[in-house]
Amino acid sequence: MKSAKKTIEDGRAVLGIELGSTRIKAVLIGPDYEPIASGNHDWENRLENGVWTYRLADVQTGLREAYGALAADVLKKYGVPLRRLSAMGVSGMMHGYLAFGRDGNQLAPFRTWRNTITGRAAKELTGLLGFNIPQRWSAAHLYQAVLNGEEHTGKVAFLTTLSGYVHWKLTGEKVIGIGDASGMFPVDGESCRYNARMAALFDERLKAHGLRYRLTEVLPRVLPAGVPAGTLTAEGARFLDPTGNLEPGVPLCPPEGDAGTGMTATNSVAPRTGNVSAGTSIFAMVVLEKPLAKVHPEIDMVATPTGRPAAMVHCNTCTSDLDAWVRVFGEFAKAAGTELSKSELYDLLYHRALEADADCGGLVNYNFYSGEPVVGVRNGCPMLVRRADADFTLANLMRAQLDSAMATLRLGMDILFGEERVKLDALTGHGGLFKTKGVGQRLMAAALGVPVAVMETAGEGGPWGMALLASFLTEKAEGETLEDYLRSRVFHAAAVERVEPDAADAAGFGKFLNRYTACLAAERTAADALATKKK
């Protein structure tokens, strides 16, 4: 306590903030990289006029609430106000579309990664560039808006991501980390710039539609980890902390996406390492030894925070449907006169899944809250189906929920492990799915057929990873790489629990996946029918 208090008083603490899908979280760490305070703010995306979005007013409100909760935590624990920081950094959900005019005005509602409304643009750009451009990517959103004839596209002066937007507000700098940039448009890891050949091809399409700007003129400047990305301005300090306690002048590292912070938080930035982030969405990142042999629409080619090539299998929904079922069971418990906390509910239901039949007793579940491009589902439609003679128990229901959260990821990973023969020593898991000890980790290992490791810091996740990137900015030695920094300084004594795939679990998941793929046509039909009916 005394050490942490002195760290805060001396201005040596480092702040990491991440804007996730359902929570904005701030984490403060000390010189030993351990968290010493935290604060968060819950928020939700909105479906407005067919678009998944967050309002920018909610971004500022949420940031202030999360930082305010952090500052209150510091004052309560250590009895001192939080005034000075050694370094800080901001991360956020990757991809999406935040477009601004020359005067800084927002030109269109924020279009998040969750939208699947850019199918034509993504397909055309993938064919044009010879590189997979997923629907989530910023370039796909811009080009789709151009194809739609949206009037605002002629006024775009700055296009960025959520992390880039917040960083701009804090520092005045229009920059972005290379990992987050790689989810906007393809990058060149060697030069740390956007791919020049592909950008020229994109510019030709813009010109053909009468647009005079070039893509690289409106995208943020790309920076790798460890490079200064500006300092907190007086206006930025007030943007984050309206009380006026936070002093400006704090150095900021490049803003990053949640994939980059996940890689950092799990020490998965070197070749043959990987991590799986399982929360509102689920995605696996595998750092490659060499480029993939061919283009796969199910796999994104992105970059680590230092620019190394990484393959990403991203699925739009992970725990949303599972969370909904847990809420329903919570309502039932309350109606029956039993009050259970949120953590008690999750622990009870997750552990019940371990008592289930390995193949979920014949149940099949689809957890799609939005469209899922990996399996060709255009609209969100959670659906539970079963044969009349299936063993419909609570345990099997919960196992089906957990297995469905991993099924689309497995289909994408099969391409990496099978067709591309990618080698991976182990996956490190982090995110909400792994909070209940021993459940998500065991089932994930069986689902993917690889060992899954979980660290004690798994619950800290992205904001902690962002704080580590901020620490790297100010602490790195001459010539020290991020890989070396994490291995030798941060994780040299980390406690890691590794689980090997269980043969019976793996065989059961295989049977579940066979039924899952066989019934996908019914899921697509239901999703389209309900979407049409809603209109």
Please tell me the predicted confidence (pLDDT) of residue 461. Answer: 77
Please tell me the predicted confidence (pLDDT) of residue 534. Answer: 45
**Quick one: tokens of 11?**
């201005």
Cα 340 to chain centroid, rounded: 29
60 burial level (CB within 10 Å; 0-12, 13-18, 19+)? middle
Please tell me the predicted confidence (pLDDT) of residue 535. Answer: 41
Q: 10 Å Cβ neighbour count for 440?
A: 27
How far, in Å, CA of 260 to CA of 526, rounded?
35
How far, in Å, CA of 52 to CA of 72, rounded?
32
Tell me the domains of the chain and their CATH numbers: 267-457+502-535 (3.30.420.40)
- CA nearest 18: which of 486, 469, 489, 495? 469
Q: 10 Å Cβ neighbour count for 209?
A: 12
Q: Check: CB of residue 355 under 8 Å from CB of residue 395.
A: yes
391 burial level (CB within 10 Å; 0-12, 13-18, 19+)? middle
Sign of CA dihedral 144, 147, 149, 154: positive
Each residue's pLDDT expressed in tens, for the chain with a length of 535 residues: 789 999 999 999 999 999 998 899 999 999 999 999 999 999 999 999 989 999 999 999 999 999 999 999 999 999 999 999 999 999 999 999 999 999 999 999 999 988 989 999 999 999 999 999 999 999 999 999 999 999 999 999 999 999 999 999 999 999 999 999 999 999 998 999 999 999 999 999 999 999 999 999 999 999 999 999 999 999 999 999 999 999 999 999 999 999 999 899 999 999 989 999 888 889 899 999 888 989 998 899 999 999 999 999 989 889 999 999 999 999 999 999 998 999 999 999 999 999 999 999 999 999 998 888 888 888 889 999 999 999 999 999 999 999 999 999 999 999 999 999 998 887 898 888 888 889 999 999 999 999 999 887 655 678 999 999 999 999 999 999 999 999 999 998 888 889 999 999 999 999 999 999 999 999 999 999 988 554 4
SS3 277: strand
Q: Which residue has the tokens 């199910």?
A: 298
Q: 10 Å Cβ neighbour count for 365?
A: 26
Please tell me the predicted confidence (pLDDT) of residue 166. Answer: 98
Between β-strands 309-315 and 282-287, what pairing exists: parallel, antiparallel or unpaired? antiparallel
Q: Which residues contact 274 (CB under 8 A, 6 or more apart)?
A: 268, 284, 285, 286, 287, 424, 426, 427, 428
- Amino acid in the structure at residue 486: L
The total number of residues shown for the chain amounts to: 535
Query: Quick one: DSSP state of residue 433?
Result: G
Adjacent-strand bridge partners of 314: 283
- Amino acid in the structure at residue 112: T
Q: How far apart are the first and last CA of the chain?
A: 58
